[in-house]
Each structure stands twice: as structure tokens, then as C-alpha cells.
Structure 1
Amino acid sequence: MKNKLFVNLYRFIDIIILTFLVFDFGFSVNDDYKPYKLVGFFAITITLVAFNVIKHYQFRDKGSKKSVRINLIILLWTLFAATVFILYNSDHTVVEQTLKTKVIFEIGLFLYLLIRLSFLIKYIYKIYFNPAILFVGSFGIFSLIGAFFLMLPKVTTHGISFIDALFTSTSAICVTGLIVLDTAKDFTQLGQTVIMVLIQIGGLGILTFTSFFAYFFKENSSFSEGMYIKDFTSSENLYDVFNLAVKIVLFTLGIEAIGALLIYTSISDDPTVNNKFFFSIFHSVSAFCNAGFSTSSSSFYAATLRFNYGLQWVVMILIVCGGLGYNIVFNIFTYFKTFLLNLFKAKKIKTVRVITLNSKLILVTTLVLLLAGGLFFYFGEANFTQKAHTSIFGKITTAMFSSVTPRTAGFNTVDYTHMATPSLLFVILLMWIGASPASTGGGIKTSTFAIATLNIFATARGKKRIEINSREISSSTVNRAFSIISISLIIIGVAIMFLLYFEPDKTLMELAFECFSAYSTVGLSLNVTPTLSYGGKIVIILVMFLGRIGMLNLLFGIMGEVEQKFYQYPQENILIN
């Protein structure tokens, strides 16, 4: 009874911390009350230290003790750093000390809550294990949480309605990039930070972050949790799946850090960018996660950014890296690592098929789509969006950017309302195909498109199976590919029909472009999104959500496991064509 009361009290304190941080971030406080806020931070942190000490002696298993010790280290370092800072700046006023010291408490308490959140989700694994529903639910819950944070007073410049907050939050968590408000003007830097955090969570998935923390407490991780992480990361086996989750997080943060540095270098001489440091980090995260959000009102179509070709190539590389998928990138890394070891070692490392068939298929499809798109836009837009660029390098860069960004990224260096109709149709095709599986992008995926195309050729030749490089593609993979294609077209078609009802003043091309962009989580628009009605916004929210989670995943979660049948009915042909 006492233990249960202690646990409930512990959770109640977590709620108090969360409420205190929300109040601290989202609401302005009069200078007369700011010293009390500093006292509140100290009181909460000291209380948490006391509870964690008691909790350490209550647990018997090593995993739980280890997690409590890490909590204590974070909290004690927070107290120590805050105390040293106050003593060192004793000549400052209490208000000045509060403003500077609260950042230390905010970081410390945020890390503490993040670890607590990871254990909450680990607990959900134990009481309810359905990978598809957990995946869908995590995006739904964080869309609502994001909407709540975006409605805080200090987040926006002129306030925001719930539907606009939900739209922006869903667009960020689903890494889409469609916006009903101007990210640069209608959101404060705090609001832009909230959007960036939602993009990062949506790109990696909250459950990847949970797995990242679970790696440090893996003594307490369950088999079912390992099975979930295997499915979520598209790993082929259960061996070291937690280590894979850590690699994914560290790889993402590392690439984003390098990208931010390169972006900062490319805009260092641009006087129109106010906060270059924040601009670099925001666009690096947004580009790698294929989100398309920008702190520039006109994205990269702004006068100074449109002709900054170095910046555009950095962004393109980030988009492609994020859109390839972690398995592909790690597979390529393994190949080059093996190649270099064999190059400098006398004893060669014998390997069999370092580059998997999956990697080859995705890399070839991606390369073909990028080059085909670049050539199409270079020649097709010569008398339209390419006119403003006088140099050959500028035209090539603009054409390649127009080919890369529909791969679910959503940035633009051209005005799509001035683009030729054939080019718009080609953009819709690229958006629909999207990025690669297990990546930060959306769409039906490159592998789905490749398998469907190969199946068409195999059927035309009278073959009953697809064979590539002495390997056969399983029938279940082919069936899944065509299911994904059918579902995507049904959802997009229904969405267009509803938008035509809610938006009678807009053309079919505009609404079709919007729906393909939303479903494939791209973020490109023909300036339709800001003018959507209430009903139109709800339709696009649902399409973005279904496009990110995958309708097939939702159906798997709803229907559950199908009973295995050990019999087969007689076959009968159905007339087709």
C-alpha cells in the first residue's frame, strides 16, 4: 500500500514538473514574480533528488537502479551548475539571475522528463503490444500535444486557433511542411523551436528516441520491446536492435550538425538572414527530416536564397540522405568500410553481397528518378521558371533542386504557380513516389514503385515471378506493393472529392496537387493551403496523418493477426482486361 502511494506521489510530481515547465515556456511572468520562479525550480529539483534517493533503495533489479542513478546524476548536476552560476554572478539582480539560471533548470528537467517518458512508453509495451497501433498512436498523441504547445501565448505573435495549431502540429510531426500560417512571421523563435522539435520527433519517431534511452537500460528491456524496435527500424533480425536505434539517433544528429555548419557557412555573407545560427540548425533538421518547413516566408524562393546555389546543394544532399533510409546508408557505409579494409590490408576480408538487393534496387530507382527529374525540369522549364537563372550551373542547380524537393522535402526555389502544366504533373508523379522505406520521407516509396514497374514487365513477358540478380522477389512483397499503390490512390481520390466540395472556388489541378503533396508528406503547394476552409483543413490533416503512418499499417493494427489456414480452395480465373 505504501509502495503504491509512493508511486502515485512520484507521478504527481512529474505532472507538477511538466506543468511548471509549460508555464515557464508558454507564459510571460512579471519581473516581481520571477524570483519566486527561481525558488520553484530549486524546490522541485531538490524534491526530485530526495524521491530518487528513496526510489534507489526500493528497487532490487539492476536496470531500475541504473535508471535512477542516471536521474540523480542529471538532477545533481543541474543543482550544482545553477548554484555555481548564482554564486559566480552574485553582483547581478535576482531577476537577472533567474533569467540566466532558469535555462540550466529547463535543460536538466527536460532531460529528466524525457527519460521518464521513455519508461512510460516501455510500460505501455508491456501492457499492450501492437506495433502498428503504437506507431499510429504515437503520431496521433504527439500531434495533439504539439497543438497544445503551439497555442501557448509566447509561441505565436498574434495567437492561433485550435484548428490552425492542430494543422501546423500535424504537418510538423508528419514531416509534411504544408502551412496555414507563416512560420517566419506568425511564430516566435520559441514557436519555431517547438515546430523544429516536432519535426525531429516526427522524422525519427518518438519510439526511436525511446529505444535510444532503452539501450542504456537494456537490462530491463523485454523481448516484445525488441520485436517492436525490429519492426520499427526495419531490421532483419533481433540481434542488437537497441544498438541500431542508438546508431540511428547518433547518425541523424551527426548529419544534421554537419549540415547546419555547411548551411551557416553558405549564408555567412547574407545580410537578410537575422539569426544565422538558428536558421542553420532549423533548416538542417527540416531538410534531413524531409519536412519542408522554413523560417523564410517564401522558403528558398527569397531573393537572396534563390541564387545561393551552394546552400541549395547542401540542402539537396541532406534531403537525399534523409530520404534514402537508415538501412541503405548503413549498408553503403559497410560496403565502403569493407572496401577500404581490403584496400590497405594484406589479408582480404571475404564478403558475400555486402550491398543487398534492397539497397541496389532503391539506389538505382532513386538515381533514375533524380536524373530524369533534373533533365525534365532543365528542358521543360527553359521558358518558364528557369529564365531567371542566367548561368548553366544555376539552371542545373535549379532543375536538380526541383527534382529533389518533391521527394517529400517541400522546399522550393521556384514559384510553382508559374510552372508549366506538364512540369506540375511530373512533380505530382515524383511526390506520389516519394522517398525510400524506413526513411524520414513519405510517398508510396521508391521500392514500391520499382517492384510494381518490374512486375509490369515480368507480366508482359509472361513470367510468373520477378527475378533480379539471381534473386526472386517474394509474392507477398509484390502483393504489398500493389496494396500500397491502391490504398494511396483511393485515399487521394476521396480527399480530392471532399476538397472539391469544401473548396468550390479552386481548380481541380490546385486541389489534386495539394492532396498528393499532403499524402506524400511533401509540403509543396500552389498557394492553396493558407486559404483552406475549416472543412478543407480537416481533410488535409487526415490525409497528412494517413500518408505518414501508412493506411496499410493502420489496417494491420485494426485487424490484428489473421488465423493461419492450412488448406487451399480450388483456383478459378477472373477475367481482367
Structure 2
Amino acid sequence: MKLKTLQNLYRFTDILILFFLIFDFGFTLEDEYKPLRVPVYTSILLLLITFNTFKFFQYSKSDPIRKTVKFNIGILVTTLVAASTAYYLNQHLPPIEQLMRPKVIFELGLFFYLLMRLTFLIKYIYKIYFNPAILFAGSFFLLILMGALLLMLPKVTVNGISFLDALFTATSAICVTGLAVLDTGKDFTQLGQTLIVILIQIGGLGILTFTSFFAYFFKENSSFRESMYLKDYTSTENLQDVFKIGAQIVGITLGIELIGAILIYTSIDSITTIENKVFFSIFHSISAFCNAGFSTSSSSFYEPSLRYDYSLQWVLMLLIIIGGIGYSFIFNSYSYLKRSFLNLFRTKNKVSRTVRVFTLNSKITIVTTSVLLIFGFIFFYFAETNFSLQDHDSVFGKITTAMFSSVTPRTAGFNTVDYGQIATPSLLIVIFLMWIGASPGSTGGGIKTSTFAIASLNIFATARGKKRIEINTREISSSTVNRAFSIIFISLMTIGTAILLLLFFEPEKDLLAIAFECFSAYSTSGLSMNLTPTLSDPSKYVIIAVMFVGRIGLLNLLFGMLGQVEQKFYQYPQENILIN
């Protein structure tokens, strides 16, 4: 069989699997058709094993593709054996229940297989078109569109959903925003909630980070272009270890989310109002770490049973801070602590091994994050004493609520207070914190802490008459300063345009509530003054666009669309412009 024919059969089978999985998951089948699912899955698996076996012998032993095909065959055979074993071990059950056990195994195996095939699709896109910004924005757009279509399946929602609301929900999930036009806990089934949390996970990390996780194991088949793209996407300096770092990001994320889910479960174990505690823990651990803000609770954590669970809130705060501080800071801190620990047992070369381990970027990130958290906590503790903090009798409860109010605007989106009832000065501070957002290279949004820090430092340097920003024997490049102010200007222009459009479409709405919603959408925070569910269709499209632009970064998109400027080796005479 020719290789080209095999490739066509592969694509046809992939599409067949995808449609069958969608049909099986999203539509309710009659009882008489349910027994047919397992034979269909078995036939598909046998067909795939046959195709992959033929393809395996088409390549030489030195070809890296052969290794990948062998891995695919291993997945398929393992799935078939595991499903067959589950079927025979459950013969004592009724026929329908007996078929359900292998069905789940078939679904997981085929889903993992399709994920592997997706990596090859992305690698093919690398070869035919290479523009990091455009590919980044395009991948998010396609994921949003696919997510919207999946959310419209009958078994995903309780009472159905329109395309606009599905598009809004998918955009909010992929862009890890958290704004919702429907009640996630009541209007979506558990299947729908599972789909939302999968979209959150993919959107928080990016499909290309997941791709690098698999590419790391098959890096012999990775191109230089892919490495350059992933280097830009993960903000990595070392090109040699870029795929390893991408795989580490996925591994660290899943590990932290697992620990977070366990801690959340232990903190809600005594709450009787939560039905499925395991799912609740996993959902909110992923949502918190990815700074998404989605919750299966109708009022987020303002519910009476959750509002006073302070241990739960501290777990969520820890997940939000770690997810929003950035992977570069996590890796740099690990390297610094590792070398510091090794120096305790080393008598020679201590200084040479620790110089410049903790980068300036990490210092700016941790200092700015700490200052904003402390500032927010102090402000909310004193400003909300006679407002939202009145409901908490203990000092520890007031401290926890004030700290949570300082942490969650940083693109997280959870709330333990009603933002429609807090004081106006507090709302303005929340807007300010949302606008700054998380740190670069993280799952959060906003203009980023480093952008705010660089702009602030530049203001102080200009006020002192300095032409350069100097920190700890290091100078910030002029291109970094220009980029910071460009990001700030573009963010304010985007938010201002959105506010203007919403005031046009919603003339009866309050200006502060509209501004709050637009800042929340751009910073992918997800906090709301209960305005989003009441918006008209044109206003929803505006918020969708703002969430998308806020997540991908309009400046990055412009770079991708306009291309790189050619290097010029001449300079025109300078002329001063009257500024003040």
C-alpha cells in the first residue's frame, strides 16, 4: 500500500473517530443502539492498528517517524487489551452496565491517540507557515470555535444554548477570563462543566505547550522553526532545552493542580451542600491555577457555605498566585534555591556558581507582585471594614477576606464578596489591580506586572533627569521601555473603545459597571458586577472581542500582521517636540 494512500486513510479515520466521539458524548442514544458502541470502537481500533502497522514498515529504522508510529501502535493495542479485559471481568453485570466499562477505556485511548495526531497537524502547520503571533492567535480562534460548537451539543447543557452564548462561554474559558452569560453550575451538565474545564486547561497553557510535551519525547523529528516558535511562546532563553522546558511546564502544572485538588477536597470535606466533592476540587484547582475564575457554584465563593471556609480560600489564593507569577520565575527560583542549597555543602567556588542566578526579571516580578498584594490587602482591610468585612466576626476572617479581595482581581475572577455592594473606592482599586494583572509567561492576563514596573521606573527616572533605567548594575533596554508604554497605550485604547461601544448599546446601564466589565474582560479577570448576563447581543460580541484581544495581546498580533521592520543603518537629525 502506498504511503500517500495510507495518509489519506489516516485522515479519514481521524475524522471518523472525532465525529463518532462527538456523537457518542454529545447526543443521547436509545437503549437499543447503546450495545453497538463497543463493536464500533473495537472495529475502529483494529482498523487503526492495521494502518499504523503498514505505516511502521514504510519507514527505515533510522527514521524518527517510525518511533512515533510505534508509540501510536502501543497506545491502540493497550487500549484494546484494557477494554477487552474490562468487558470480560464485568460479565456478571447487566448488559448495558457491562458495556459501559470498556466504553470509557475506548474513549480515553482514542482521545489520547487523537491528541498525538494533533501534534503532527501542528507540526505540519509549522512547515507551511511560520509566524508566531499569527499562529498563536489562530490556534486560540480555532479552539474557541471548536469549543463553541461542542458546547452546543444536547448533552452539554440542561436547557440548550444559543451559538452566541456558546461562543461567549468558549471564549471566556479559552481566554481564562471567567465572565459568564449562563450559570456554570446550573445551566451546564457535568459533561458541559468537564468540557469547560478542559478548555480552561488548554487555554491557560496554550495548545503549543501541550504539543511540546509530546514533541519532547520525539524531538528528533522537531524542526529548528518549531524550537524558535516555542522559545518565543514560553519566553525561554535557551534554545537547546526549549522542548524540555515545554514538557516541564505541563508536568509542573498538572502536579500543582493535583496537589491543589487534594487540598481543596480536604477543606470542603465537611460541607454537605457540595454533591460531587472530587469533581468540585479538580474543577476549582484547574480554574484557580489557570486564573480562569469559573466556578460550579452559582455565586462563586460568595455562597454561605463557602464564604466562611477560610482554609479553602487560602488554598485558592496560593494556586492563583503560583499560576499568575509566571513559569520563568518558578524555574529561576528553583535554580537559585538549588544552587544555594548545594553551596551549603561546598567549600570551593561558591561565588562563581551563584552569580546572576536570580535574574532581574524575577526580582522585578516578585517585588511588584508582593507590593501589589500588600497594597491591596491593606486598602481592602481598612476601606471595607464597614462594608463587605462586616459579615466576618473573627479577625482571621477579615484578614482572609481582605487578602482574597487583593489576590483575586489579579486575573483570577473568584469572589467572596458581592462586587455590586462594595464601596466605590474599592471598585476603583479592583479595576486598577485587574488592569495590571499577572506576571509575564503565566496563565494570567492584564498588562502584566513587569510592564507596570518598567513604566513606573521610567517615570521616576525621567523625573530625576535620567535618560536610562538602571537597576542593580543593569540597564533596561530602550526597546523594553517602548514596548511597555505601547502595551499600556493599546490596553487603554482597547478598553476605552469597548466602554464607548457598550455605552452606545446599553445606554441605560451604569458607567462604572460597564467600565468594570470591560477592564475585567481585557485583563481576563472575570470579576463582574452582575452585568454580563444582562447584556444585549451586540454588547456580548464586544466583550468577546475584548477577551480575545486581552488574551493574545494586540501588540503581538500587530507584530505578526505588519511583519518585522527592516534594520536601518542611518539616522535622521533629531528634533525636540513640545510635550509639557
TM-score of the pair, normalised by structure 2: 0.98
Secondary structure of the 1:544 match is: helix
Among the aligned pairs, what percent are the same residue? 69
State which drifts further: 55-64 or 229-238: 55-64
Alignment of 1:495 onto 2:513: no
- State whether structure 2 residue 413 is matched by structure 1 residue 436: no
Structure 1 stretches of 4+ with a deviation exceeding 3 A read 344-349
The equivalent residue for 1:315 is 316
Counterpart position of 2:391: 388
Aligned to 1:44: 44
Q: Note the C-alpha offset of 1:44.
A: 0.3
Instruction: Give the letter aligned to residue 405 of structure 2.
Output: S
Alpha-carbon contact 1:496-1:511 (below 8 Å) kept: yes
C-alpha displacement of 1:236:
1.1
Q: Does 1:94 align with 2:95?
A: yes
Deviation per CA, 1:329-368: give whole Å up to 9, x if none: 1111111111222224445642212110000011000000
Spell out, residue by residue over 1:65-107, the C-alpha distance to the aligned partner (whole angstroms, 9 max, x if none). 1111111111001110111111112233332222221100000
Which residue is equivalent to 1:303? 304
The equivalent residue for 2:274 is 273
Quote the offset at 1:195 in angstroms: 0.3
- Is it true that 1:526 corresponds to 2:529 in the alignment? yes
* 1:408 and 2:408 aligned: no
- Equivalent residue in structure 1 for 2:456, among 453, 466, 473: 453
Aligned to 1:15: 15
CA distance in 2 between partners of 1:502 and 1:102 (Å): 48
Partners of 1:92 and 1:122 in 2: CA distance: 45
Separation in 2, partners of 1:260, 1:4: 46
Alignment of 1:459-498 (within 5 A): 459-498=462-501
Q: How far is the alpha carbon of 1:163 from its aligned partner?
A: 0.2
* One-letter amino acid matched to 2:558: L
Alignment partners' CA distance in 2, 1:348 and 1:334: 17
Number of paired residues?
577
Q: Which amino acid aligns with 2:48?
A: L
Quote the residue 1:26 is aligned against: 26
Q: Is the 8 A contact 2:3 2:55 kept in 1?
A: no
Match of 2:59 in 1: 59
For 2:417 and 2:242, locate their aligned partners in 1 and report how far apart those are by CA, in whole Å: 42
SS in structure 2 opposite 1:272?
coil
Q: 2:357 aligns with which of 319, 337, 354?
A: 354
- Cα separation, 2, equivalents of 1:153 and 1:75: 29
- Does the residue aligned with 1:467 lie in a helix, a strand or coil? strand
| Paired residues of 1:323 and 1:441 also in contact (CA < 8 A) | yes
Displacement of 1:428: 0.3
Instruction: Give the 3-state SS of the residue equivalent to 2:186 in structure 1.
Output: coil
Letter of the 1:253 counterpart: L
Please give the alpha-carbon distance, in whole angstroms, between the structure 1 residues aligned to 2:399 and 2:88. 58
**How many angstroms apart in 2 are the aligned matches of 1:128 and 1:312?**
45
**Residue in 2 that maps onto 1:287:** 288
The answer as to whether partners of 2:336 and 2:354 remain within 8 angstroms in 1 is no
Q: Hey, what's the Cα distance between the residues in 1 that align with 2:296 and 2:481?
A: 41
Q: In 2, are the aligned partners of 1:229 and 1:241 still within 8 Å (CA)?
A: yes
Query: 1:447-492 CA distances to partner (integer Å, 9 max, x unpaired)?
Result: 0000000000000000001000010000000000000000000000
CA distance in 2, matches of 1:284, 1:94: 36
SS of the residue aligned with 1:184? helix
Whether the 8 Å CA contact 1:410–1:522 is kept in 2: the answer is yes
8 Å contact kept, 2:494–2:546: yes
Contact 1:62–1:219 (CA<8 Å) still a contact in 2? Answer: no
Contact 2:291 2:324 in 1 (8 A): yes
Q: Tell me the SS of whatever aligns to 2:355.
A: coil
- Return 5+ residue gaps in structure 1 as ranges: none
Find the aligned partners of 1:92 and 1:262 in 2 and give their Cα distance: 35
Q: Provide Cα deviations, 1:297-356, integer angstroms capped at 9, x if missing partner.
A: 000000011000000000000000000000001111111111222224445642212110
Shift of the alpha carbon at 1:394?
Answer: 0.6
For residue 78 of structure 1, what is the aligned residue in structure 2?
79
The answer for the alignment partner of 1:506 in structure 2 is 509
Q: What is the Cα-based RMSD across aligned positions, in Å?
A: 1.0
How far apart are the structure 1 equivalents of 2:68 and 2:207? Answer: 19
Partner of 1:249: 250
d(CA) in 2 for partners of 1:256, 1:505: 42
- Give the partner amino acid of 1:560: G
The residue identity in structure 2 corresponding to 1:525 is S
SS at match of 1:387: helix
Task: Give, in whole Å, the separation in 1 of the partners of 2:434 and 2:336.
Answer: 30
Contact map agreement 1:175 1:290 (CA 8 A) in 2: yes
Gaps of 5+ in 2: none
Normalised by the length of structure 1, the TM-score is 0.99
Counterpart for residue 374 of structure 2: 371
- Paired residues of 1:185 and 1:297 also in contact (CA < 8 A): yes
CA contact (8 A) 1:63 1:220 kept: yes
Residue type matched to 1:12 in 2? F
Output the CA distance in 2 between the equivalents of 1:451 and 1:241.
27
The question of whether the paired residues in 2 share the 8 Å contact of 1:86 and 1:101 is answered with yes
Deviation at 1:59, TM superposition (A): 2.1
Give 1:62 deviation, angstroms. 2.9
Alpha-carbon deviations, 1:381-407, whole Å to 9, x = none? 011001001111111100000000000
Contact 2:87 2:101 survives alignment (8 Å): no
Q: How does 1:98-113 map to 2 (within 5 A)?
A: 98-113=99-114
- Summarize the alignment of residues 170-209 of structure 1 with structure 2, pairs less than 5 Å apart: 170-209=171-210
SS across alignment from 2:475 = strand
Report the Cα distance in structure 1 between the residues aligned to 2:273 and 2:381, rounded to whole angstroms: 29
